[in-house]
Amino acid sequence: MENETSEFFQIIVLSIPNLIEAIVGTLLLTGILLQLKHRFNKKMGHIKDEYFYLVAVGLASIYSVSQEYKFHNFGGNNVYDPYDVIASLIALGMTYGLIQVFGFVEKAKTE
Protein backbone atom coordinates (compact mmCIF):
# COMPACT_ATOMS: atom_id res chain seq x y z
CA MET A 1 0.00 0.00 0.00
CA GLU A 2 2.83 2.40 0.76
CA ASN A 3 4.31 2.33 -2.73
CA GLU A 4 1.17 2.27 -4.85
CA THR A 5 -1.21 4.80 -3.27
CA SER A 6 -1.23 8.46 -2.47
CA GLU A 7 -0.49 9.68 1.04
CA PHE A 8 -4.00 11.12 1.41
CA PHE A 9 -5.56 7.72 0.64
CA GLN A 10 -3.24 6.01 3.13
CA ILE A 11 -4.23 8.46 5.86
CA ILE A 12 -7.94 7.88 5.21
CA VAL A 13 -7.65 4.09 5.08
CA LEU A 14 -5.47 3.82 8.19
CA SER A 15 -7.70 6.19 10.21
CA ILE A 16 -11.01 4.48 9.41
CA PRO A 17 -10.70 1.98 12.30
CA ASN A 18 -10.42 4.86 14.78
CA LEU A 19 -13.40 6.57 13.18
CA ILE A 20 -15.50 3.40 13.45
CA GLU A 21 -14.29 2.71 17.00
CA ALA A 22 -15.43 6.15 18.15
CA ILE A 23 -18.84 5.82 16.47
CA VAL A 24 -19.53 2.33 17.80
CA GLY A 25 -18.21 3.21 21.26
CA THR A 26 -20.43 6.27 21.51
CA LEU A 27 -23.53 4.40 20.36
CA LEU A 28 -22.83 1.47 22.65
CA LEU A 29 -22.24 3.66 25.69
CA THR A 30 -25.35 5.72 24.91
CA GLY A 31 -27.44 2.56 24.80
CA ILE A 32 -25.98 1.27 28.05
CA LEU A 33 -26.53 4.56 29.86
CA LEU A 34 -30.12 4.87 28.64
CA GLN A 35 -30.78 1.28 29.76
CA LEU A 36 -29.41 2.17 33.21
CA LYS A 37 -31.66 5.23 33.27
CA HIS A 38 -34.64 3.05 32.42
CA ARG A 39 -33.65 0.40 34.98
CA PHE A 40 -33.18 2.93 37.78
CA ASN A 41 -36.04 5.19 36.72
CA LYS A 42 -36.92 6.31 40.24
CA LYS A 43 -33.41 7.64 40.85
CA MET A 44 -32.38 8.67 37.34
CA GLY A 45 -35.68 9.24 35.53
CA HIS A 46 -35.60 12.99 36.01
CA ILE A 47 -32.26 13.39 34.16
CA LYS A 48 -32.61 14.48 30.54
CA ASP A 49 -31.42 12.09 27.83
CA GLU A 50 -29.11 14.81 26.47
CA TYR A 51 -26.94 14.51 29.58
CA PHE A 52 -26.56 10.79 28.98
CA TYR A 53 -25.56 11.51 25.37
CA LEU A 54 -22.91 13.92 26.59
CA VAL A 55 -21.56 11.46 29.17
CA ALA A 56 -21.42 8.71 26.53
CA VAL A 57 -19.43 10.92 24.16
CA GLY A 58 -17.15 11.96 27.01
CA LEU A 59 -16.41 8.38 28.01
CA ALA A 60 -15.90 7.30 24.40
CA SER A 61 -13.55 10.23 23.80
CA ILE A 62 -11.53 9.41 26.92
CA TYR A 63 -11.13 5.83 25.73
CA SER A 64 -10.37 6.66 22.08
CA VAL A 65 -7.97 9.52 22.63
CA SER A 66 -6.18 8.06 25.65
CA GLN A 67 -5.51 4.91 23.64
CA GLU A 68 -3.70 6.99 21.02
CA TYR A 69 -1.54 8.59 23.68
CA LYS A 70 -0.78 5.12 25.14
CA PHE A 71 -2.40 5.69 28.53
CA HIS A 72 -3.67 2.12 28.12
CA ASN A 73 -3.27 -0.64 25.58
CA PHE A 74 -6.74 -2.18 25.45
CA GLY A 75 -6.86 -1.91 21.66
CA GLY A 76 -3.68 -3.87 21.03
CA ASN A 77 -0.36 -2.72 19.60
CA ASN A 78 -0.99 0.95 18.91
CA VAL A 79 1.23 3.50 17.20
CA TYR A 80 0.56 7.21 17.76
CA ASP A 81 -0.78 8.95 14.70
CA PRO A 82 -2.23 12.46 14.86
CA TYR A 83 -4.62 11.59 12.03
CA ASP A 84 -6.11 8.84 14.17
CA VAL A 85 -6.82 11.37 16.91
CA ILE A 86 -8.43 13.69 14.36
CA ALA A 87 -10.54 10.83 12.95
CA SER A 88 -11.69 9.91 16.46
CA LEU A 89 -12.62 13.51 17.28
CA ILE A 90 -14.50 13.90 13.99
CA ALA A 91 -16.45 10.70 14.64
CA LEU A 92 -17.24 11.67 18.22
CA GLY A 93 -18.53 15.08 17.18
CA MET A 94 -20.48 13.68 14.25
CA THR A 95 -22.09 10.93 16.33
CA TYR A 96 -23.01 13.34 19.12
CA GLY A 97 -24.55 15.72 16.60
CA LEU A 98 -26.58 12.97 14.95
CA ILE A 99 -27.85 11.69 18.29
CA GLN A 100 -28.80 15.22 19.32
CA VAL A 101 -30.69 15.82 16.07
CA PHE A 102 -32.39 12.45 15.64
CA GLY A 103 -32.39 11.10 19.19
CA PHE A 104 -31.39 7.59 20.16
CA VAL A 105 -34.67 5.82 20.80
CA GLU A 106 -38.14 6.52 19.54
CA LYS A 107 -40.34 8.08 22.19
CA ALA A 108 -43.42 6.06 23.14
CA LYS A 109 -46.65 7.55 21.89
CA THR A 110 -49.11 8.45 24.62
CA GLU A 111 -52.77 8.15 23.75
Residues 1-43: pLDDT tens digits?
556 778 888 888 889 999 999 999 999 999 999 999 989 988 8
Q: Mean pLDDT throughout 89-101?
A: 95
Do 101 and 50 contact (CB within 8 A), yes or no? no
- pLDDT class of 67 with cuts at 50, 70, 90: confident
Strands (DSSP E) found in the chain: none
Query: Looking at residue 76, what is its pLDDT?
Result: 63
Q: Lowest-pLDDT range, 25-29, 46-50, 92-96, 107-111? A: 107-111
pLDDT, greater one: 73 or 65:
65
* pTM attached to this predicted model: 0.82
CA distance linking residue 18 with residue 84, whole number of Å: 6
- pLDDT class of 98 with cuts at 50, 70, 90: very high
pLDDT at 92 over 70: yes
Give phi and psi for 35, each to the nearest 5: -65, -40
Provide the mean pLDDT of the chain.
86
Q: Mean pLDDT throughout 59-84?
A: 80
CA distance linking residue 7 with residue 30, whole number of Å: 35
